Structure 1
Amino acid sequence: MLKLKGKTAVVTGASSGIGVAIAKQLANEGADVVLAARRKDKLEQVVKEINSLGKGKALAVSTDVSQQNNVDSMVDYAVEAFGKIDIYVNNAGLVGDGIVRNENVKAWEQMIDVNIKGVLYGTHAVLPGMIERSSGHIINISSVSGQEVTKSTTVYSATKFAVRAISMGLEKELARTGVRVTNISPGMVETERNSERLPNDRKPLQTDDIAKAVIYALTQPDYVNVNEITVRPV
């Protein structure tokens, strides 16, 4: 049984890593999926893989989530293609130099624009339709760095703390509207980008582990709102 058949989902940052895994799991459960990221060629590869399975349909939209007009256009396109958006996954994220003493202002600004503004732009674009239908689900991918700070992650952790704060505030804003909000905080996940930073003393999380957490939150009964999931390696 396809648990998300008839649903439409948008996944940002869907050209690699966790975003790809989430998009594939959503489609595997029958959802139609709009993949959004800057790298159109990578997106098209994932779209081909999803469409070849014959479950949920997929399409790609080149999107820079740090630009509000880009996000608004992508959401309009998704609605035009599939009629509505039931699920919006704010997955796009940027890890940069998080040390304040390094004075790498450009890296800070990029993280703030993608990790915070990107979440707000996407949420702002889809909420009116969800509230009107009294149904919808916002999934925000934060990080355990939004719960703990190291000496090298000050600014990055600040952006992920912000994602958690946005999730917590939205949950209260949207109480009794029918729109649910889930914040998911992964620990270290094995991705192409993280390959050199993985610990040697334990098995890291896989991208599918995070995708399964997304599906878990989405497939609860309508009256259940899973607000917070933290996923760590053992």
Structure 2
Amino acid sequence: MSLYNSPSGAGSMNVIITGASKGLGKAFSEKFAAAGHHLFLCARNEELLAATKQQLLEKYPGCKIDISATDISRKENAIAFGNFCLQFGAPQVLINNAGRFLPGNIYEEEDRTFESMLATNLHSAYHLTRTVLPAMIKAKSGHIFNICSIASLAAYKNGGSYSISKFALLGFSKNLREELKSYNIKVTAVMPGAVYTDSWSGSGLSPERIMQADDVVNMVYAASLLSPQACVEEIIMRPQLGDL
């Protein structure tokens, strides 16, 4: 089954994934690499990103991968990365996955935490999306996935500025969805609970208590397979035993 928004209905697509060197970003990259698409990956750590590219090309020689080691929490870097991707044409899939978690209550978190969380978790998606959207609008196709969080839906202790940024990312997704309907561009907000990635590996929790990265990846990939008439607006996923 081919992805609906490939230009000809089949074949290789241009897929942009941010925060791609580890965790969910790396898992997204593997899923789309396995299908033979042209990936555009970015992350801050050049060594990890290059290793990810090498691993994927060795495992999936049918795909093509371009990488950029950059911090897209900075507006100019997000715009530059978007323009780099556009050299190869409009993206058919954009996964705004780059993010960071700094715990703390609003009244006691360290100074600049608020600015850092907004820049990494919201501004990066905003500026990258705005950069590539004109080409997607011209093509009248594409699918944008914004990786939000369960923290986008409810306040919790120690959520602080992280939760604020994720609430805002969900608002960004809802506005994009309304604006882009008539251009045949889909927007999906993804709100996973705890997923067993590097950030949880040292927690002491059993991997059986929380979700696997592939659980989220498979849902996103399935949403990308739907006909042009159907859009999954939100994906909400929690561990079977509930949030932690």
TM norm structure 1: 0.93
Separation in 1 of the partners of 2:208 and 2:89? Answer: 44
Residue deviations 1:108-152 (CA, integer Å, cap 9, x gap): 211111111111011111111000110111100000011121121
Separation in 2 of the partners of 1:146 and 1:106? Answer: 20
Separation in 1 of the partners of 2:227 and 2:207? Answer: 38
Query: 1:197 Cα shift?
Result: 4.1
1:188·1:198 contact (CA, 8 Å) conserved in 2?
no
Q: 2:80 aligns with which of 58, 70, 73?
A: 73
Local SS of the residue matching 1:181? strand
Separation in 2 of the partners of 1:37 and 1:214? Answer: 20
1:1-234 matched pairs, under 5 angstroms: 3=3, 5-52=11-58, 53-80=60-87, 82-197=88-203, 199=205, 203-234=209-240
Local SS of the residue matching 1:184? strand
Query: 1:224 Cα shift?
Result: 0.9
Query: 1:69 Cα shift?
Result: 1.5
2:15·2:93 contact (CA, 8 Å) conserved in 1?
yes
Counterpart amino acid of residue 212 in structure 2: Q
Separation in 1 of the partners of 2:146 and 2:67? Answer: 20
Local SS of the residue matching 2:198? coil
How many residue pairs match? The answer is 233
Residue deviations 1:184-225 (CA, integer Å, cap 9, x gap): 011101111122446559521111111112101111111111
Local SS of the residue matching 1:183? strand
Separation in 2 of the partners of 1:149 and 1:73? Answer: 34
Counterpart amino acid of residue 45 in structure 2: R
Counterpart amino acid of residue 55 in structure 2: E
Q: RMSD value over aligned CA atoms?
A: 1.7
Residue segments in structure 1 that go unaligned for 5+ positions in a row: none
Local SS of the residue matching 1:194? helix
Separation in 1 of the partners of 2:76 and 2:19? Answer: 17
Counterpart amino acid of residue 66 in structure 2: L
Identity across the alignment (%): 30
Separation in 1 of the partners of 2:214 and 2:190? Answer: 13
2:106·2:160 contact (CA, 8 Å) conserved in 1?
yes
1:186·1:232 contact (CA, 8 Å) conserved in 2?
yes
Local SS of the residue matching 2:80? helix
Counterpart amino acid of residue 77 in structure 1: F
Residue segments in structure 2 that go unaligned for 5+ positions in a row: none
Local SS of the residue matching 1:102? coil
Local SS of the residue matching 2:199? coil
Local SS of the residue matching 2:107? helix
Residue deviations 1:58-111 (CA, integer Å, cap 9, x gap): 12111211112211211222222x333111110001101331121412222111
2:149·2:193 contact (CA, 8 Å) conserved in 1?
yes
Local SS of the residue matching 2:182? coil
